[in-house]
């Protein structure tokens, strides 16, 4: 199944971020890196680096957490001295916060942050996620990590005009464009399907061929679908958990994602399935044009 390539998207990461705001003002007492690969780089073939591991643990010791932010599908922890931890959960990464400090790490715990107000665990079954340390903003900037990342869907700068221009020059399918992080940040497989359905447009349509009305509907749908998903704490599929360990409720609201062969909620036509951009895609042939 393509399905298990499921990664937390904007609404999920945003809710994890919200759950971690309790960390603000807390002091990092000690850091235990149980799986050095996680802090050593980004690729799937990462070698653990003793230097990187040491920098991570030593650099964060005694630091005070100033903010927890999100950019696209990434989480950023910033300390008062301007140090940064950048985390991407990939498929099975989880941040679980235990204010009591009495919960034991699990067998998939890869990093333990011992804080003045409890413990923060980074758990990751498949270990594709990464949690990287940067001594300052410049060091992060030099990696080019966010260089090609598009605007946030709720950013004031993400206007209808800008979106229209971005679509005009794209020869690929609408779904691929929505999932392309350079156009707009944070949308993956689930929400691309849900947005296309909400806008009543077929996901396989060429982006450059959309008319003004369709683009306007899409633009609105991006905001409304993501807003609702954030409100319902995201879609819990497989390993996504909030920082408290609870699940999100948006999966119950999926109109098309994961519902291939089931009736469309609007017209009762059997929902169709195809593969677009290597991803299983579900849509209604009747409601979407």
Which of the residues 6, 9, 22, 153 is marked catalytic?
9
DSSP at 61: T
List every span in the chain annotated with CATH 1.10.8.50: 160-283
CA distance 279 to 264: 20
Question: CB–CB of 64/26 below 8 Å?
Answer: yes
The domain over range 2-142 is classified in CATH as 3.20.190.10: yes
Q: Residue 115: beta bridge partners?
A: 28, 118
List pLDDT tens digits, range 213-257.
999 999 999 999 999 999 988 887 667 788 888 888 888 889 999
- Chain-centroid distance of CA 266 in Å reads 29
CA distance 251 to 76: 26
Question: CB–CB of 94/86 below 8 Å?
Answer: no
Q: pLDDT band at 1, cuts 50/70/90? A: very low
Q: In the prediction, which pLDDT does 45 show? A: 79
Q: pLDDT band at 5, cuts 50/70/90? A: low
List every span in the chain annotated with CATH 3.20.190.10: 2-142
Q: In the prediction, which pLDDT does 66 show? A: 98
Q: Is the pLDDT of residue 3 over 70?
A: no
Please give the average per-residue pLDDT across 153-173, as a whole number: 94
Please give the average per-residue pLDDT across 19-33, as a whole number: 97
Which pair of structure tokens corresponds to residue 154?
């709720």
Q: Residue 67: beta bridge partners?
A: 78
List pLDDT tens digits, range 29-60.
999 999 999 999 998 778 999 999 999 999 99
Q: In the prediction, which pLDDT does 237 show? A: 65
Which DSSP string corresponds to 76-121?
A: EEEETTS-EEEEE-TTTEEEEEETTS-PPP-TTEEEEEEETTEEEE
**pLDDT > 90: what percent of the chain?**
85
Question: Is 285 annotated as catalytic?
Answer: no
List pLDDT tens digits, range 101-138.
999 999 999 999 999 999 999 999 999 999 999 999 99
CA distance 190 to 246: 20
**pLDDT > 70: what percent of the chain?**
97
Which of the residues 6, 8, 78, 153 is marked catalytic?
8
Cα dihedral 163, 167, 172, 174, rounded to 10, equals 50
Question: Is 279 annotated as catalytic?
Answer: yes
Nearest to 135 by CA among 78, 218, 70, 201: 78
Q: In the prediction, which pLDDT does 257 show? A: 94
Q: In the prediction, which pLDDT does 2 show? A: 35
List pLDDT tens digits, range 174-193.
999 999 999 999 999 999 99
Greater confidence, 168 or 200? 200
Secondary structure of residue 262 in the 3-state scheme: coil
Which of the residues 73, 78, 110, 259 is marked catalytic?
73
Please give the average per-residue pLDDT across 156-178, as a whole number: 94
pTM of the model: 0.92
* H helix intervals, the chain: 10-19, 50-60, 137-142, 160-168, 174-179, 189-198, 212-231
Question: Is 9 annotated as catalytic?
Answer: yes
DSSP at 281: E
Q: In the prediction, which pLDDT does 224 show? A: 97
CATH class, 160-283 region: mainly alpha
Q: Is the pLDDT of residue 4 over 70?
A: no
CA distance 49 to 158: 39
Mean pLDDT rounded to a whole number for the chain: 93
Q: In the prediction, which pLDDT does 235 show? A: 83
């Amino acid at each position: 199944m393509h399905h298990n390539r499921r990664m937390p998207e904007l609404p999920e990461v945003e809710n994890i971020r919200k759950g971690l705001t309790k960390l603000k003002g807390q002091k990092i007492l000690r850091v235990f890196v149980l799986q050095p690969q996680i802090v050593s780089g980004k690729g799937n073939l990462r070698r653990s680096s003793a230097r990187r591991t040491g920098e991570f643990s030593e650099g964060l010791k005694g630091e005070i957490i100033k903010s927890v932010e999100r950019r696209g599908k990434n989480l950023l922890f910033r300390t008062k001295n301007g140090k940064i931890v950048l985390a991407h959960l990939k498929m099975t990464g989880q941040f679980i916060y235990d204010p009591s400090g009495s919960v034991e790490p699990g067998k998939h715990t890869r990093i333990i942050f011992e804080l003045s107000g409890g413990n923060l665990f980074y758990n990751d079954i498949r270990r594709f996620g990464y949690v990287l340390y940067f001594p300052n903003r410049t060091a992060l900037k030099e990696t080019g990590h966010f260089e090609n990342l598009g605007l946030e869907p709720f950013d004031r700068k993400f206007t209808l005009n800008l979106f229209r221009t971005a679509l005009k020059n794209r020869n690929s399918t609408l779904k691929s464009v929505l999932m392309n992080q350079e156009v707009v940040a944070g949308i993956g497989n689930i929400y691309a399907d849900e947005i296309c359905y909400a806008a009543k447009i077929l996901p396989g349509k060429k982006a450059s061929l959309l008319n003004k009305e369709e683009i306007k509907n899409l633009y609105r749908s991006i905001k409304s679908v993501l807003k609702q998903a954030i409100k319902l704490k995201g879609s819990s599929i497989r390993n996504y958990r909030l920082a408290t360990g609870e699940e999100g409720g948006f999966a119950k609201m999926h109109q098309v994602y994961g519902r291939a062969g089931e009736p469309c909620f609007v017209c009762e036509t059997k929902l169709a399935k195809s593969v677009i951009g290597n991803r299983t895609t579900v849509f209604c042939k009747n409601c979407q044009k």
